[in-house]
Amino acid sequence: MTALDDPAAEAQLPWHLRGNYAPILTEVEAYDLPVHGALPTDLNGRYFRNGANPKHGPTAHWFAGDGMLHGIRLRDGKAEWYRNRWVQTRQLEGARRINMQTGEFDLTVGAANTHVWRHAGRIFALEEASLPNEVSPDLDTLGPYNFGGALCTPMTAHPHTCAETGEMHFFGYELVKAPYVTYHVADAQGNLVHTQPIDVPGPTMVHDFALSRHYAIFLDLPVTFDLSLAMTGTMPFTWDPGYGARIGLLHRERARHGEQPRWFDVPLCYVFHIMNAWDDGTDGPDGVEARSVWLDAGRHASMWDGSPDNFKPSLMWRWRFDLVTGEVHETQLDDINHAFPRIDERLTGLANRFGWAVAPRNGRERGEMGEPTVIVKYDLQSGSRTVHDLGADAQSGEPVFVPAHEGAGEDEGYLVTFVYHGDTDSSRFVVLDAADMSAPPIASVPLPQRVPHGFHGSWFAD
């Protein structure tokens, strides 16, 4: 028995090891799950979600736990199976990611606990300090993947696949040596076709980035790595206002010839998650350039300032970069704390109208960890928002949009996620109508065990 399954010790644990943040210590699978309502017969595929689930004892921070995938398989209106599996990483087996003598990192060692993504037929369990770990459609771990030896940096947990080219754009950031950020592109067939260092002044933590039709957009913000903290085993990142804050626009085509981003200084802030980006550029024989680029993202006024538990609210903001004058225009779009913004990924890099996220049920700007939540739908055209309330005790995971069919409209489809109910200490898989947030769930599937709060997930259509 560890401290994680001893009820008497739970009150002494930090928040990320209590309640539904606490890990589960068993891997299970169940078949022919009961369905409340009716699962759409066009939802044929798998929903996988990743999260931190420490196996060998308490961790210093929520982000440090071992990766565990939870998956449900839907076909022809049935919930065929649910299963959960630890990602069988080298870290889970006891390997150390950092050499305490030299400070060097082993890229094959990581937690694989943040996201799960598919590209060119391969499914990756991702976290930003290591190589991806490939997993099978049945959640078996296949091991670290380096694109045939071509990838020599970590891989972000937030790659983005271009809606028009099918290319996967991503980056990796280094902590102890330059280049601190490296940009990569994998073609639609999964070949790594471009790698380029990005000039940043120090070991900044870059959790996400964005893609527009013509630009890759980099966030060089003042959360930086401290090796002395890493050596103590505590959270190794801290707020560093002296680092400054800027956002870089890298022309995707000219990047292939070595061009660096054009940087725009912005007020101090931090961004974990973007919603989307787009530009007004057009392709043509005259090579017309974009005049403006837009970026919508969750903006924190600061992050980890004085404490690794100091999370400032994430509020939806929009930046418009004027490529003619060099000016940046900032607009706050909403006043509630949100988490995990998602869009219809068929519009990645293109102008989108709708987005979805999780927000506190009580409507306050700042919610507390583990309190009830609602799913928010943003209409970025009208500036309005609507919510789906899952219940007084419900805590939702990230809403993932699934189009109803290949030619479906932007919100013509479903939102899928795991939902935890505190009054019964249980979880269910939920399908909502993405177009009508006032409608009751289309279907829900009670799960054989609770699903701890985690990070990001994806829908993989058959």
pLDDT at 54 over 70: yes
What is the C-alpha separation between 70 and 121, in angstroms, rounded? Answer: 19
Task: List, in order, residues 6 or more apart from 325 with CB less than 8 Å away.
Answer: none
Amino acid type, 458: S
| Span 16-51, pLDDT tens digits | 999 999 999 999 999 999 999 999 999 999 999 999
Sign of the dihedral through C-alpha 399, 36, 53, 393: positive
Question: Shortest CA distance to 416 belongs to which of 430, 435, 437, 405?
Answer: 430
Helices (H) and strands (E) in the chain, counts: 3, 33
CA neighbor of 333 nearest in space, from 343, 347, 319: 319
Instruction: Say yes or no to pLDDT of 404 above 50.
Output: yes
Q: 206 lies in a domain?
A: yes
The two tokens of residue 36 are 């409340």
According to the model, what pLDDT value does residue 365 have? 55
Residue 201, in any domain of the structure:
yes
Answer whether residue 273 is part of any domain: yes
pTM of the model as a whole? 0.95
The total domain count for the chain is 1
CA 190-192-193 angle, to 5 degrees, is 115
For residue 435, tell me if it sits in a domain: no
What domain range is 177 assigned to? 146-333
* Stretch among 235-239, 297-301, 307-311 having the lowest mean pLDDT: 307-311
Question: pLDDT confidence of 1, banded at 50, 70, 90?
Answer: very low
- 310 or 207: which leads in pLDDT: 207
Q: Would 29 be classed as within a structural domain? A: no
C-alpha angle with apex 79: 88 to 163, nearest 5 degrees? 70
Tokens, residue 53: 């689930």
CA distance 172 to 181: 6
Q: Which pLDDT value is given to residue 8?
A: 58
- The Cα–Cα gap between 220 and 268 comes to 10
Task: For 9, list phi and psi in degrees, rounded to 5.
Answer: -90, -10
CA angle at residue 459 from 217 to 52, to 5 degrees? Answer: 75
As a whole number, mean pLDDT of residues 412-419 equals 98
Neighbours of 220 (CB within 10 A): 23
Would you place residue 362 in the very low, low, confident or very high pLDDT band (cuts 50, 70, 90)?
confident
* More confident call, 290 vs 68: 68
Question: Does residue 271 carry a pLDDT above 60?
Answer: yes
Q: Looking at mean pLDDT, say which of 100-114, 176-190, 271-285, 367-381 comes out highest.
A: 176-190
Residue 242, pLDDT > 50, answer yes
Across the strands, what pairs with 46? 73, 460
Does 38 reside within a domain? no
Task: Give CA–CA dist 250/257, Å, rounded.
Answer: 11
Which among 98, 213, 195, 111 is positioned nearest to 149, based on CA atoms?
Answer: 195
List all residues 6 or more positions away from 23 whose beta carbon is below 8 Å from its beta carbon.
4, 17, 52, 53, 54, 55, 65, 68, 452
> What CA dihedral angle connects 431, 432, 434 and 437, to 10 degrees?
-170
Residue 304 is assigned to a structural domain of this protein: yes
DSSP-derived pairing of the beta strands 457-461 and 45-52: antiparallel
| Per-residue pLDDT reduced to its tens digit, 448-461 | 999 999 999 999 99
Cβ atoms of 114 and 50 closer than 8 Å: yes
Residue with tokens 């550029």: 281
Tell me how far apart the alpha carbons of residues 67 and 54 are, in angstroms, rounded to a whole number.
Answer: 8
Distance between start and end Cα atoms, the chain:
40
pLDDT at 420 over 90: yes
With a cut of 60, say whether residue 192 has pLDDT above it.
Answer: yes
Report pLDDT for 2.
Answer: 46
Residue given tokens 């607009």 in the structure block: 331
Mean pLDDT of 354-381: 85
Strand, coil or helix: 449: coil
Decide which of 300 and 2 is more confident. Answer: 300
pLDDT band per the 50, 70, 90 thresholds, residue 434: very high
Q: Please compute the mean of the pLDDT values over residues 157-163 and round it to a whole number.
A: 98
Residue from 427, 422, 416, 431 nearest 450 by CA: 427
Evaluate whether residue 388 is within a structural domain.
no
Q: What is the 3-state secondary structure (H, E, C) of 193-232?
A: EEEEEECCCCCECCCCCEECCCEEEEEECCEEECHHHHHH
Q: Is the pLDDT of residue 367 over 80?
A: no
Give me the mean pLDDT over the 386-408 stretch. Answer: 96
Please tell me the predicted confidence (pLDDT) of residue 363.
65
